[in-house]
Amino acid sequence: MLRVLVTRPEPGAARTARQLRETGFQPILLPLTETVALPVDAGLVPDEAIAVAVTSANAVRHAPEAIIAALAALPCHAVGKRTAEAARKAGFLSVSEGPGNAEGLADRLAGGLSGKTIVYLCGRVRFPAFEQELKTASVQVHAVETYDTLAVRHSDKAIVALLSGQPVDAVLLYSTKAAGAMQVLARRPALQGLFERTRFFALSARIAAALDDTANERIRIAAQPDEKALLALLRDVS
């Protein structure tokens, strides 16, 4: 049974672990990042906003109730299925599901919202392409940062104990921050032997690039930036 290291934080890690067990893998949870809520002033939401965009489920999970209440009646454009589900659960009344990636959502919104203002619920750490594309299309993007992503430190002793001193067959990477942390971790002298033959599965090329020169021949990239494609890739090469 292949041992698969899951580096994403909760609540997604438990869901991923369940899927791995159901398909014959042995999941090992080692979150390399965590999300924490940021203080947000609901009074900063612009009155002229006509819609809300969300590219991360964490953005609505961490949003204060006052922010949700101020925006719930506006059309909410979510990047994909999971984010749309989180938006509905949070209280948004009209939620549309996007194509699954931020660039695709920006393409979808650009034409119809030119000259308009939207609120973008997001994290402090984010890829700028979504906002840049909309601004190029003359869409006024008002970013409301509801959470931050922080690195989680693990001691060599804790990781060796978690892995029972045995090598890892595969690592799933969901963010550039986690990929960078994984690269540093795998190079620690006490841990190198556990990752010498490990294969790395990244959600996107941008995430894979954060691994730098770490065993390029052992890095695989999902065909689409979603977990379904990532786990399908893992099954195909296992």
| Domain CATH for 129 | 3.40.50.10090
Confidence of residue 215 (pLDDT cuts 50, 70, 90): low
Q: Could you tell me if 173 and 113 lie in one domain?
A: no
Using the structure block, give the residue that is written with the tokens 């010498």: 196
Domain boundary at 122, 149, 176, which?
149
Residue 238: predicted pLDDT: 67
Using CA atoms, how far residue 55 sits from 52, 128, 179, 198, in Å, is 10, 11, 20, 30
Same-domain check for residues 163 and 220: yes
Domain assignment of residue 220, given as a range? 3-32+152-237
**Phi and psi (nearest 5°) for 75?**
-60, 130
Please identify, among 117, 149, 181, the residue that sits at the C-terminal boundary of a domain: 149
Of 106, 134, 149, the position where a domain reaches its end is 149
**Nearest in space to 56 (alpha carbons), one of 79, 31, 75, 26:** 79
Distances in Å between the Cα of 177 and the Cα atoms of 44, 137, 161 are 29, 29, 24
pTM for the predicted model, two decimal places: 0.86
* Radius of gyration from C-alpha coordinates of the chain: 19
How many separate domains does the chain show?
2
The 10s digit of each residue's pLDDT in 180-207 is: 999 999 999 999 999 999 999 999 898 9
pLDDT tens figures, 96-131 = 999 988 999 999 999 889 999 999 999 999 989 999
Residue 54: strand pairing partners: 78, 121
What's the whole-number average pLDDT of the chain? 93
